[in-house]
Amino acid sequence: MGPEPLELSEEEFLALFEGHTNKNTKSFLMDQRDIAGIGNVFSDEILFRVGINPKHKIKELDLDIRKYIYKNMRDVLSEAIEVGPPDEDFNTSWLVSHRHTDMLCPNDSSHKLVKEMVSGREAIYCPVCQK
């Protein structure tokens, strides 16, 4: 198992990208060998906040986007610890609050969320907001 995500420095996190250039972003975040504890729900949430499609390849991400993923990973996980288990008290600005209800994008309710398999895991994302 890799290190806990909130214990990683930005430099350590950025180093994890090396050697994973052909992985998609969702698989990268969920690979427990590199980062422990980021599951399906929160990988979707992180990628939603960053605006990246879960199928997007690591090799296509520039340094600024990688740093933005790190920042959002820390923000999402820190906020989630305060709120508690998924689907309980997350406000409607969170993707998780829509995944089992209306499947509408938190940013724009005219966008329908998509559910599909990505690397053998269910991914929920907004195809409009997450290019």
pTM for the model: 0.92
Confidence of residue 62 (pLDDT cuts 50, 70, 90): very high
127 contacts: CB under 8 Å, gap ≥ 6:
53, 111, 114
Question: Encoding tokens for residue 124?
Answer: 């929920």
Task: Give per-residue pLDDT as tens, 63-101.
Answer: 999 999 999 999 999 988 887 665 556 778 889 889 888
Residue 87: predicted pLDDT: 53
Contact predicate 42/72, CB 8 Å: no
Contact predicate 104/123, CB 8 Å: no
Domain boundaries defined on the chain = 5-125
Residue 89: predicted pLDDT: 66
29: nearest Cα among 83, 94, 87, 74: 74
Q: Which residue has the higher pLDDT, 21 or 46?
A: 46
Q: Is the pLDDT of residue 10 over 60?
A: yes
Residue 86: predicted pLDDT: 57
Amino acid at 12: E
Residue 54: predicted pLDDT: 96
Average pLDDT of the chain, as a whole number: 91
103: nearest Cα among 111, 129, 56: 111
CATH class held by domain 5-125: mainly alpha
